[in-house]
Structure 1
Amino acid sequence: FIPKSFLSKEAQHVEGFAKECAVITHSRLKSVDGGVEVDPDSRLEEELIVRPTSETIIWDAYRGWIQSYRDLPILINQWANVVRWEMRTRLFLRTMEFLWQEGHTAHATEQEAIEETLQMLEVYRKFAEDYMAMPVVTGVKTASERFAGAVDTYCIESLMQDGKALQAGTSHFLGQNFAKAFDVKFQDSDGEHKYVWATSWGVSTRLIGGLIMTHSDDNGLVLPPKLAPTQVVIIPIFKNDEQKSKAIYYAEPMIKELRANGVSVKLDDRDNFKPGWKFAEHEAQGTPVRIAIGPRDIENGNIEVARRDTLEKTIVPIQGSAEKITKLLATIQNDLFEAAKKRREESTQYAENYDDFKVMIEKGGFIYAHWDGTEKTELKIKEETKATIRCIPLNGDDTPGACMVTGKPSKKKVLFSRSY
């Protein structure tokens, strides 16, 4: 719970979150005629805000922690629930209460803070692409889209299968805004008292939604092997206890070798479900590789290997199978990323004029176009097309041109899309 006065110390911050804050005004209820109502005598002297983000409470603490340059940098990371009073909720993507990871750092110099901001942006990009197999565009937000109280907001933007953009993570360079608001100074090595420089950054359970919408299909989840809790499931096919025992005995050396390779393996030998039911269950759960072993497979020295991502089935000799499956998991991880990247490329367009842009945006996807850098033009595009500037790409095309709306000079193309 954050005292209301804390939020009011940073004007841009409170303005950005004012409409999303849940406010506590009283401390108790009382019984009335078999029901309950707010006790008017319990009104708080100062209202409390249910935390929408932690900058204000963190910086109040930093004021007591930081005195000298020897105390810097401070690098704090925490997992916390936050509340934002959303008008329209969407599971995983936009909920009133959600769990997230948020970092808050304090530095002696501006350069250190900027480096920290960009380092965390790279951490998020790497996690999204290398683990989630979700390709992203890294960039910086426009002034109207940046985090309230930040100097610059950097982000990773991904494209979902339905053609909408998802902001998957943000990293903010806060400058000295919060240090000045909360009077957080340090004595530098030259004896001068200076305000510290700050960053904050975070990702949330929205990544779960991003993972689902990037890869999954109508049969259920499709999970990248690096994030799947079970990477390989082995399903013995049997009609009696003798066949069951033979199948398990047949699979045990392969299971042992897979686990030695660091692969997460589950043996599903339940006898109260038929094989087809198990296949559908593990398919819905997104297990990357399914192995079936029946009497005929044992007789022929084989196993049946099914990929969740492509639904392909192949017959593989059990001899040397552990090594093949370990390599297959790496292949699936890469193929999922490449498939998502291909979908993004096929859904990316380039608009040279506003009329073309209006037609393109109805198809969904990413659109690169020139923009004159003004909030007025940005708002016009948003109101007329429901598309927003997702970011100004860090590694985009730097060729200057003319704004597609006004014809005024544009430094580079920016990334537009509709989003959730």
Structure 2
Amino acid sequence: MSVNEAESKMDAIKLTDEPAQGATQVEGAKPTGKPAKKEKERKDQKSAAKQKGSNQSNAPKKKMGDTELIGITCKKSEDLAEWYQQVIVKGEMLEFYDVPGCYIYQPGSYRIWEFIQDFFNERIRKMEVENCYFPLFITEANLQREKDHIEGFAAEVAWVTEGGKNKLEKRIAVRPTSETAMYSFYSKKIRSHRDLPLKLNQWNNVVRWEFKHPMPFIRSREFLWQEGHTAHLTEAEAGKEVLEILDHYAAIYEDLLAVPVVKGRKTVNEQFPGAHYTTTIEGFIPAVGRGIQAATSHCLGQHFAKMFDIRVEDPNQEVKEGEKRNKLLVWQNSWGFTTRSIGVMILIHGDDKGLVIPPRVANKQVVIVPVGINVKTTDADRQKLYDEVDAMSRTLKSAGVRVACDYREGYSPGYKFNDWEMKGVPLRLEFGPKDSANGVVTTSRRDQEGGAKDTIPIPDLATAVPALLEKIQADMFKKASDEYAAHRKIVRDWADFVPTLNEKNVVIAPHCTGGECEDEIKKDSSGQIEGQEVDVRAPSMGAKSLCIPAEQPEELQEGAKCVNPKCGKEAKMWVMFGRSY
């Protein structure tokens, strides 16, 4: 499969509502998702289904997603779309639902979201942000109060037109975002400068009825997020918070998810509709060489304050007796972080065996698998081994480690190893009679090829395992960070722009920051321009501006021109461009 074909498939990913099930393949044995004694029954069922299918000329062809196909059966490098589908379903992160574009978050993924909530709540509470909740439904009149803002969501708004058996006199929108839902309340709540700052955040769901093919976590019709909305007396106060929130977002990715990001500011073309300016963190998916917007923090300025009449008297104005103070529009911010982060984490860390979950967000950080048990093992010896495993589990739990013990009967150790690897558990501990005799447990790291096996003395478990988990976390971040850095290329000349993109990179180039110039770059980097040398395997999509990096790679030379040869203007900033989700 060519790069072009693979990426086109990723763009138009259509995921079946028939999820794949089972465990991954084991070297020397093929696990079926059922004990060996059920194999004959499974084959009989498969044979019957095949016979039935032979009588149905229009029966769909069996494909990934059918239950008899087990494990991760394709390579990440060969078919990313199919690999991603299998990994999220077989790794028990997500299940399909009967409404296309909506998904069931299984405990494995929802636990990650809970860790993110805990991490972020702790930090915003120190900023005196309070959590709240606003309704899911927004009146059409309220939604339409801010035309420029809603224009960015208009094609994706879902509308309710009936309630029970009755048609509604006026349709009601399902929130795509909550600015218009919340700011009427802000207008009532804020009566004086003493009511400022007002800082509210809500953890909720939103609906954006995408008509493109959805991609779980990355682009779905319903997703989970937090949205913070704050009001301040001055622009300086608002601007300080915008950057503080952006730092917290970057910390979620880097400290929890082991995913590197680039902090920056969106160009005017790419900023949030209705915003004064937008700051962003931008990630990168090496498998396709594309950037991905990871989270945004916006200074809304006074635009919404004017629309919703959110004003206070100027507390700093000197007035004579009997005079009234001038009314000031407040300065507002909004900022949001979504479950897209889980998909980004999966795409970056996952491998051909399945998920690779960073220890800090893993539902189970360690799995203990008893080994060396066979038909000759006595019940007493088996119980002794299990008792030792239980004791180790209690020791680790007391040390704050999240542990699972795999006592499943009818499955080989190899089956269990691969099953837990597919689910991305960071560390496996193997314990058998020989380990017991030597007073050690054998370790196998999920993040390293071949498992990176070692041993830990049993008395050291309470300190050695947490330390090893932190080592895994740090190593995962370093690996991903090094890869992202290697794919951020400085480009000074347009002749190198498209070829560099085609090598699965993002480019940092001198740019005038003009909107029309950006549009031209996006068109001219799409591979559709006559005479432009473009890799035939490259995707047809053009490169858009991802951000103006906060850390500029170097000072622009005096008189440096915009990278776009048709522009001719002087460059103002280094801008990061890339093909993007």
Work out which of the residue numbers 357, 360, 370 in structure 2 matches 1:223: 357
Give SS of 2:152's match: helix
Question: Pairwise mapping of residues 25-64 of structure 1 onto structure 2 (< 5 A)?
Answer: 25-29=161-165, 42-44=167-169, 46-64=170-188
Instruction: Name the TM-score, length of structure 2 as normaliser.
Output: 0.68
Asked if residue 275 in structure 1 is aligned to residue 413 in structure 2, the reply is yes
Asked if residue 388 in structure 1 is aligned to residue 544 in structure 2, the reply is yes
Asked if residue 167 in structure 1 is aligned to residue 293 in structure 2, the reply is yes
Q: Match of 2:29?
A: none
Deviates more, 1:165-174 or 1:84-93: 84-93
Give SS of 2:441's match: strand
Question: Pairwise mapping of residues 210-359 of structure 1 onto structure 2 (< 5 A)?
Answer: 210-237=344-371, 238-239=373-374, 240=377, 241-310=379-448, 311-359=451-499
Deviates more, 1:219-228 or 1:63-72: 63-72
Q: CA deviation at 1:28?
A: 4.9
Q: For residue 183 of structure 2, what is the amino acid of its counterpart? A: W
C-alpha contact 1:364 1:417 (8 A) present in aligned 2? no
Give SS of 1:410's match: coil
Q: 4+ residue runs of structure 1 moved beyond 4 angstroms?
A: none
Q: Match of 2:219?
A: 94
Work out which of the residue numbers 551, 555, 574 in structure 2 matches 1:413: 574
Q: Distance in 1 between matches of 2:264 and 2:481?
A: 17
C-alpha contact 1:141 1:154 (8 A) present in aligned 2? yes
- 1:261-315 per-position Cα deviation (integer Å, ceiling 9, x unaligned): 2211222222243222211111111111000111121122221100000021123
C-alpha contact 2:286 2:504 (8 A) present in aligned 1? no
Q: Distance in 2 between matches of 1:344 and 1:361?
A: 14
Q: Distance in 2 between matches of 1:56 and 1:93?
A: 25
Q: Distance in 2 between matches of 1:23 and 1:249?
A: 58
Q: CA deviation at 1:84?
A: 1.2
C-alpha contact 2:157 2:173 (8 A) present in aligned 1? yes
Q: For residue 180 of structure 1, what is the amino acid of its counterpart? A: K
Q: For residue 495 of structure 2, what is the amino acid of its counterpart? A: D
Work out which of the residue numbers 10, 18, 41 in structure 1 matches 2:154: 18
Work out which of the residue numbers 229, 238, 241 in structure 2 matches 1:116: 241
Q: CA deviation at 1:129?
A: 0.6
Work out which of the residue numbers 204, 216, 222 in structure 2 matches 1:80: 204
Work out which of the residue numbers 118, 132, 157 in structure 1 matches 2:257: 132
Q: CA deviation at 1:187?
A: 3.1
Q: For residue 555 of structure 2, what is the amino acid of its counterpart? A: T
C-alpha contact 2:513 2:573 (8 A) present in aligned 1? no
Q: CA deviation at 1:95?
A: 1.0
Q: CA deviation at 1:373?
A: 1.5
The number of equivalent residue pairs is 408
Asked if residue 368 in structure 1 is aligned to residue 484 in structure 2, the reply is no
Q: Distance in 1 between matches of 2:465 and 2:443?
A: 9
Q: For residue 419 of structure 1, what is the amino acid of its counterpart? A: S
Give SS of 1:48's match: strand
Q: Match of 2:67?
A: none
- 1:78-130 per-position Cα deviation (integer Å, ceiling 9, x unaligned): 11211112121211111111111111111111111111111110110111111
Give SS of 2:153's match: helix
C-alpha contact 1:397 1:412 (8 A) present in aligned 2? no
Q: For residue 347 of structure 2, what is the amino acid of its counterpart? A: M
Q: Match of 2:55?
A: none
Q: Distance in 1 between matches of 2:420 and 2:355?
A: 9
Structure 1, unmatched stretches of 5+, are: 30-38
C-alpha contact 1:77 1:101 (8 A) present in aligned 2? yes
Q: Distance in 1 between matches of 2:273 and 2:143?
A: 11
Q: Distance in 2 between matches of 1:189 and 1:73?
A: 14
Q: Distance in 1 between matches of 2:381 and 2:269?
A: 66
Give SS of 2:401's match: coil
Give SS of 1:319's match: helix
Q: Distance in 2 between matches of 1:271 and 1:337?
A: 36
Q: Match of 2:144?
A: 8
C-alpha contact 1:21 1:83 (8 A) present in aligned 2? yes
Q: CA deviation at 1:384?
A: 2.5
Q: CA deviation at 1:257?
A: 3.2
Q: Distance in 2 between matches of 1:323 and 1:249?
A: 21
Q: Distance in 1 between matches of 2:477 and 2:276?
A: 33
Q: Match of 1:35?
A: none
C-alpha contact 2:192 2:313 (8 A) present in aligned 1? yes
RMSD, matched Cα: 1.7
Give SS of 2:231's match: strand
C-alpha contact 1:2 1:57 (8 A) present in aligned 2? yes
Give SS of 1:402's match: coil
Deviates more, 1:208-217 or 1:297-306: 297-306
C-alpha contact 2:395 2:461 (8 A) present in aligned 1? no
Q: Distance in 2 between matches of 1:293 and 1:27?
A: 59
Asked if residue 158 in structure 1 is aligned to residue 283 in structure 2, the reply is yes
Q: For residue 397 of structure 1, what is the amino acid of its counterpart? A: P
Q: Distance in 2 between matches of 1:215 and 1:112?
A: 37
Deviates more, 1:409-418 or 1:169-178: 409-418
Q: CA deviation at 1:365?
A: 2.1
Give SS of 1:414's match: strand
Q: Match of 1:36?
A: none
